[in-house]
């Protein structure tokens, strides 16, 4: 592997090697040995199927599943034959645990799969979450949860109806830096919080990618990195917004013929509290600022996979290297094993989607104030 992040810890390597040798002696693939070792119900490690093998799965989720303690990569779902071969070889995925989007529903009979992680374009989240739920599998769905409030509600209902758990891929709520920000309002560390500024934007590259196609993405940067800003404002205040106004800016670049280039919005919270946010595919900003009665807090950079920096009042925040994806997936695996609730359930994604729909409604009405 190319980096230390992808290396299997020595104790796990010894355990895995022993399993591998045992498996080979009786003609089983390595993953089959791991699954047998863990069992199906009540097993030590739950099997996760990644649905969609794009950059996030390839660069973050799959490598993190080599580090998780309570789950492992047991299956993949892809529409690309080349990826089937590449992933099967790299992660020892048995042929019987490789699916495509047409035979996806066959996962219902696969005991190696306990959890399905949906990592597809936004417009496909609802369909595959509902199909996974009907197959009896627990679901992690990447953010944004869906492209409409109606879809979010349908996803929650499908999971409830089929007695499976649903969690949204809000990795930052597991990060120690953001957990400190979340606890500001819970513990009244700085007194009453009165203002939050959350901005996240980057300059997007390939003009042909799905994120710039409205039918796949549902919108531009707001549906991508803007969700982090909505989340940050909500959990920094520890309250839900009651109204908002939004503005859009477009330079005329051909890239943005289907989606907004830049959006800013202001949210109103109870007791006169306000937040301000900007998201864009045409600039670079990555920060969270919190102002309170007894001081201020800031994270900058704030939303990345690592390298977050910040302070709370006079305290410089410093935490050891932390794998957000590992923590997120392990936490959900424990939710499933212990029958507890995710800290980022479907209802959390629904709340963000209500804000997103209000932002788009405000834009349609030339920045009108919209109640949420």
- Here the CATH number for the domain that contains residue 198 is 3.30.360.10
pLDDT for res 43: 82
Q: What is the extent of the structural domain holding 356?
A: 173-321+347-371
Query: Number of structural domains, the chain?
Result: 2
| Domain co-membership, 152 together with 198 | no
Distance CA 93, CA 343 (A): 30
| Domain co-membership, 206 together with 227 | yes
Distance CA 356, CA 168 (A): 16
| Domain co-membership, 21 together with 100 | yes
Distance CA 313, CA 271 (A): 23
Last residue of a domain, one of 153, 171, 189: 171
pLDDT for res 177: 98
Joined tokens for residue 56: 């996030």
Is 143 an active-site residue? yes
Is 214 an active-site residue? no
| Domain co-membership, 148 together with 266 | no
Joined tokens for residue 358: 């209000």
| Domain co-membership, 115 together with 232 | no
pLDDT for res 1: 36
| Domain co-membership, 119 together with 64 | yes
Catalytic residue among 99, 117, 177, 228: 228
Tell me the pLDDT of the chain averaged across its residues: 91
Last residue of a domain, one of 131, 155, 171: 171
Q: Identify the three-state secondary structure at position 196.
A: strand
Phi then psi for residue 115, to 5 deg, are -130, 140
Phi then psi for residue 287, to 5 deg, are -155, 155
Q: Identify the three-state secondary structure at position 62.
A: helix
345 and 166 Cβ atoms separated by less than 8 Å: yes
| Domain co-membership, 74 together with 151 | yes
> Is 252 part of a structural domain of the chain?
yes
Classify strands 115-118 and 138-141 as parallel, antiparallel or unpaired.
parallel
Last residue of a domain, one of 130, 154, 171: 171
Catalytic residue among 45, 137, 143, 351: 143
pLDDT for res 36: 34
Q: Per-residue pLDDT tens for 134-170?
A: 999 999 999 999 999 999 999 999 999 999 999 999 9
| Domain co-membership, 281 together with 259 | yes
* Sheet strands side by side (includes 262-268): 315-317, 310-312, 295-299, 285-292, 193-201, 274-280, 262-268, 243-249, 370-371
Q: Which helix (H) or strand (E) holds 48?
A: strand 46-51
> Is 328 part of a structural domain of the chain?
no
pLDDT for res 33: 39
């Amino acid at each position: 592997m190319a980096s230390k992040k992808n290396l299997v810890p020595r104790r796990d390597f010894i355990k895995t090697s022993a399993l591998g040798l045992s498996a080979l002696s009786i003609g089983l693939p390595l993953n089959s040995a791991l699954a047998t070792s863990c069992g199906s119900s009540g097993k030590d490690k739950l099997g996760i199927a990644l649905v969609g093998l794009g950059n996030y799965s390839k660069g973050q989720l799959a490598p993190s599943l080599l580090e998780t303690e309570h789950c492992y990569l047991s299956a993949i779902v892809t529409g690309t034959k080349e990826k089937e071969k590449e992933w099967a070889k790299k992660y020892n995925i048995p042929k019987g645990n490789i699916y495509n989007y047409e035979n996806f529903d066959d996962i219902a009979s696969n005991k190696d799969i306990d959890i399905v992680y949906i990592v597809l374009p936004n417009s496909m989240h609802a369909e595959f979450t509902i199909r996974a739920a009907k197959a009896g599998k627990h679901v992690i769905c990447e953010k944004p949860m869906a492209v409409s409030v109606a879809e979010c509600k349908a996803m929650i209902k499908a999971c409830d109806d089929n007695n499976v758990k649903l969690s949204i891929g809000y990795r930052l709520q597991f990060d120690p830096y953001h957990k400190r920000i979340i606890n500001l309002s819970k513990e009244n560390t700085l007194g009453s919080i009165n203002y939050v500024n959350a901005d996240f934007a980057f300059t997007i590259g390939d003009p042909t990618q799905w994120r710039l196609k409205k039918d796949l993405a549902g919108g531009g940067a707001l549906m991508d990195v803007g969700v982090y800003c909505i989340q940050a404002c909500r959990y920094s205040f520890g309250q839900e917004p009651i109204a908002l106004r939004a503005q859009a800016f477009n330079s005329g670049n051909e890239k943005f013929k289907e989606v907004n280039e830049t959006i800013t919005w202001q949210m109103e919270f109870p007791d006169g509290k306000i937040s301000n946010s900007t998201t864009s595919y045409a600039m670079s900003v990555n920060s969270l600022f919190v102002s309170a009665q007894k001081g201020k807090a800031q994270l900058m950079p704030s939303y990345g996979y690592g390298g977050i920096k910040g302070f709370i009042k006079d305290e410089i925040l410093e935490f050891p290297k932390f794998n957000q994806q590992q923590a997120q997936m392990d936490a959900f695996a424990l939710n499933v094993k212990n029958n507890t609730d995710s800290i980022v359930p479907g209802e959390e994604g629904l709340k963000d989607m209500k804000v997103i729909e209000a932002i788009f409604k405000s834009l349609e009405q030339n920045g009108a104030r919209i109640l949420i």
